[in-house]
Structure 1
Amino acid sequence: MSTHFFGDGNIGSPPEFREIPNGNEEPRRVLRLNVYFDNPVPGKDGFEDRGGFWAPVEWWHRDAEQWATLFQKGMRVQVSGREERDDWTDDDDKPRTTYRINARGVSILPYRIASVTMRPKSATGESPAATDE
């Protein structure tokens, strides 16, 4: 079972990148994020969180490795995709249900970002080392 999903949230742990072998073809790449999707409601003293939920987000993308270096814990993101339900049994044979987001797109929202510095790539194709400015 799946349904369309669209939500804003914060990344709760460092991103996880994996390559999965695909026979003789190029390996499939996935970026896994653990995101807390909140429900902010305006109040007297700013916004108040009126309940939310944690959800694992999987983004299958050929450039997932590059995105893994960009996303950081605490970063605010917007996720669109499909919500998928996984039914399973735990070690005590109790039925469990987990919901995960199979993302079509993950966008960085400009909250909590102090600055962005754009630098040209070096001749080897790698980004230059960061320096204190």
Structure 2
Amino acid sequence: MSTHFVGEGNIGSAPDYREFPNGNDEPRRLLRLNVYFDNPIPKKDGEYEDRGGFWAPVELWHRDADHWKTLYQKGMRVLVEGRTVRDEWEDADENERVTFKVEARRVGILPYRIESVALSAKPAGGQ
């Protein structure tokens, strides 16, 4: 079961990067982000109150995940687009557990808390 998801939140910890063998092909690459999706509600005094935020693991499968592991940082504000997926598993005591994760299609960096941006030249071949 899955459903379309779009949410804005903050990365809560350092990204977790992993590679998985894929036969003779290039390995599959996964970047996991732990994101807090908040729900800021404006108050009369101009401040905001978070109502109903939640933590969710965000998985980004992509050939460039190795490069992106240094780009995404704890505290960074991101916009995540993808789908929510129900994940069923057993814990160490053999109790059945259910969690939801986000399989991301895109993770965009939002310009909050960013001091500077450095762009590099396109590599030969135009990618």
Whether TM exceeds 0.5 here: the answer is yes
How many angstroms apart in 2 are the aligned matches of 1:38 and 1:58?
18
Offset at residue 118 of structure 1 (A): 3.5
Normalised TM-score (structure 1): 0.84
How many angstroms apart in 2 are the aligned matches of 1:39 and 1:56?
17
Q: Which stretch of the first structure deviates more once superposed, 92-101 or 77-86?
A: 92-101
Q: Which amino acid aligns with 1:37?
A: F
Q: Which amino acid aligns with 1:17?
A: Y
Task: Report SS of the residue matched to 1:4.
Answer: strand
How many angstroms apart in 1 are the aligned matches of 2:56 and 2:33?
8
1:42 and 2:50 are equivalent in the alignment: no
Q: Which amino acid aligns with 1:93?
A: E
Structure 2 residues not aligned, in runs of 5+: 123-127
Offset at residue 14 of structure 1 (A): 0.3
Give the aligned partner of residue 126 of structure 1.
none
Give the aligned partner of residue 8 of structure 1.
8
Offset at residue 120 of structure 1 (A): 5.3
Q: Which amino acid aligns with 1:105?
A: R
Cα distance change on mapping 1:23 and 1:119 into 2, 3 Å: closer
Give the aligned partner of residue 56 of structure 2.
55
How many angstroms apart in 2 are the aligned matches of 1:114 and 1:69?
16
> Which structure 1 residue ranges, 4+ long, deviate > 3 Å from structure 2?
117-121
Structure 1 residues not aligned, in runs of 5+: 122-133
Q: Which amino acid aligns with 1:100?
A: K
How many angstroms apart in 2 are the aligned matches of 1:7 and 1:63?
22
Give the aligned partner of residue 66 of structure 1.
67
Q: Which amino acid aligns with 1:22?
A: N
Q: Which stretch of the first structure deviates more once superposed, 18-27 or 83-92?
A: 83-92
**How much is the aligned-residue C-alpha RMSD, in angstroms?**
1.5
Write out per-residue CA displacement over residues 10-50 of structure 1, whole angstroms, 9 at most, x where no aligned residue. 00000111111000111111111000001011112422111
Give the aligned partner of residue 23 of structure 2.
23
Give the aligned partner of residue 92 of structure 2.
91
Normalised TM-score (structure 2): 0.88
Task: Report SS of the residue matched to 2:70.
Answer: helix
